[in-house]
Amino acid sequence: MCRRGAALALSLAVLLTAQVALAARLAVSALEGDPKGKLRAQVTAALRKTRKAQVLPPTAWTQAAAKQGLTGPAAVGPSALKLLAPRLKVDAVLTGSVGATFNARLLDREGREVWVGSYPLKRGALAPKDLAALAQAVATSRLQPLAAPAPDIKRPPVSEVPPPAPPAPPASPEMKPSPAPQASAPKETPPRAPEAPASRPVLTPAEPAPVAAAVPAGPAAPVAWVELDAESHTYGVDPSGSGGGFPETPAVDARRLPPRVRLLVGATATWRKYCARPGVASCAEYDARPEEQRQGDTSDFTSTAPYLGFAAEAEVFPLAHRPSLIRGLGLTLAFQRGFAPTTVRVSSPTGSTPTREVAATDTAFGATLAYRVFFDLGSEQTPLWGHVGVRLGAYDHGFAVEDPLDVPVPVVHRLTPVVALEASVPLMRLIRLEGGGRLFYQPVPGGAFAGLGKGPFLSEVRDYGTAVSSVGWEAQLGLAGDLWGPFGYSARLKLEHYSDTFTGAGTRRGWTEGGVARDAYSSLWVGLTAAW
């Protein structure tokens, strides 16, 4: 009885294990007309909330199919299901097409349709009631389970022992002892069976093993959509086909994520226009006065030829592949330098200096902390990443000429805090619109990273007054795109403008009540980019 009880308990454990193993395992494939996977993610989440199926991560089936070269309808064809279902250990795949409605199809691992349904969509998503109806319909579908190996239960060996001989009848008192047998005709006695130990009963062929009788026979039962606990409503497998477990968030191809690093190297052409007038609020106001009312030195600076040079930019977003909000944190650096001959003319009440041509350099450097919100306007196979963001940092812009002490030229160095907005909107791989604006906080003349308040930098204010307040801004617009692999192009136009208002008396003749200066730059950037 003890042995029968133990065998029965073991059989019940096997049956319970088999019932748990029959919990349906489900994958959701890429849906036709759902390039970003929005609806697929919504349906996957709803199936998991039912806790009646073990559901793969949203992209597991698509990634496994892509590794076999299967995309589109081929990824859910009968041959694909027969190949991938055993590897991913799934019983069914939910697929379908997306349009005005979601036409859903549930396929078993042989590629046969188990269930079909159609639900209306609004902005590419299911309404809550339709989503619940879809999950319930899938959960009530009947599937056939994966073939499971028979439990390894060893049947105890049956001892092949002949039945014991019947006992000899008791001797009658009237019977006489038989005479001793003759030596020539010995009598054979049947062999006696060995006695079995008392603690180990002998099983005869007439008594079958109890374990064998407890194992059910017949066809496998349908897959059970059983209630799962909170920790087992998801199901992770290795999409490569190893069958081992992996975390619920699968590894994502880095090419389908926004780049962490972007570099730009290119050529620039810059034009500059400068004017300074005493005792007025604008250069136009001074120029509109009659000739006899124009008192004091003025400066006009116009570049007849652009400053040709080079530019380099670097953008680093080391956390761009993280799923959390910190993915948008990064750092940007930019450097620009141009060279050109420039014509200069200084006017005064006593006359004007001859026009001179001097060599000028225009240098700009910026460093900012950035935060971006990334978005993808492409498909799962061809992502098109764009962003909107904000930057905070510092900007240094300096314009210098040769022999600044001998040539009265408006040399200006500005070091200023900056706040910027930016946006990049992809239209296709080859065309991406880029734009932005920057606002400079008090970009007064006379400041630079090196030599602050020394040498000629002091004269940039004192020549015109005792104090100065300034405003400045920059706007840019351009095109960019991908050419081949990580390489692309960028072309943009930049406008940079400063207004300086001086107060008090300056060292220049006629600048006794301050005045104004306007400084404007127009730049064209064209270069190659590389992103990883």
pLDDT at 173: 44
144 lies in the same domain as 292? no
User: Angle between the 60-67 and 78-88 helix axes, to the nearest 10 degrees?
Assistant: 110
Q: Report the CATH number that the domain containing residue 360 is assigned in CATH.
A: 2.40.128.100
In a domain, 236, yes or no: yes
234 lies in the same domain as 287? no
Measured CA to CA, the distance from residue 269 to residue 35 in angstroms comes to: 41
Cβ atoms of 311 and 528 within 8 Å: the answer is no
pLDDT at 410: 80
- Residue 411 burial (CB count, 10 A): 20
pLDDT at 314: 97
401 lies in the same domain as 340? yes
pLDDT at 466: 92
Domain stops at, among 183, 218, 251: 251
518 contacts: CB under 8 Å, gap ≥ 6: 273, 274, 275, 276, 282, 283, 497, 498, 499, 500
pLDDT at 295: 85
Measured CA to CA, the distance from residue 374 to residue 320 in angstroms comes to: 9
Cβ atoms of 385 and 376 within 8 Å: the answer is yes
- Strands across the sheet with 113-122, in order? 54-55, 25-28, 92-98, 101-108, 113-122, 125-126
Domain stops at, among 185, 216, 251: 251
pLDDT at 53: 74
Burial of residue 311, with CB atoms counted within 10 A of its CB: 0-12 exposed, 13-18 middle, 19 or more buried: buried
Q: What is the dihedral of CA 486, 491, 492, 493, to 10 degrees?
A: 160
Residue type at 143 in one-letter notation: L
278 lies in the same domain as 412? yes
Measured CA to CA, the distance from residue 491 to residue 406 in angstroms comes to: 38
- Phi and psi at 388, nearest 5°, equal -130, 145
In a domain, 178, yes or no: no
Structural domains in the chain (count): 2
Low-confidence ranges of the chain (pLDDT < 50): 1-2, 12, 14-21, 145-155, 157-161, 171-189, 194-220, 231-251, 405, 452-454
217 lies in the same domain as 329? no
pLDDT at 168: 53
Pair of tokens at residue 301 = 């600076």
Measured CA to CA, the distance from residue 532 to residue 528 in angstroms comes to: 14
pLDDT at 221: 52
212 lies in the same domain as 293? no
408 lies in the same domain as 425? yes
Boundaries of domain holding 53: 1-151+201-251
pLDDT at 296: 87
Domain stops at, among 251, 286, 317: 251
What angle is formed at CA 81 by the lines to CA 75 and CA 86, rounded to 5 degrees?
A: 130
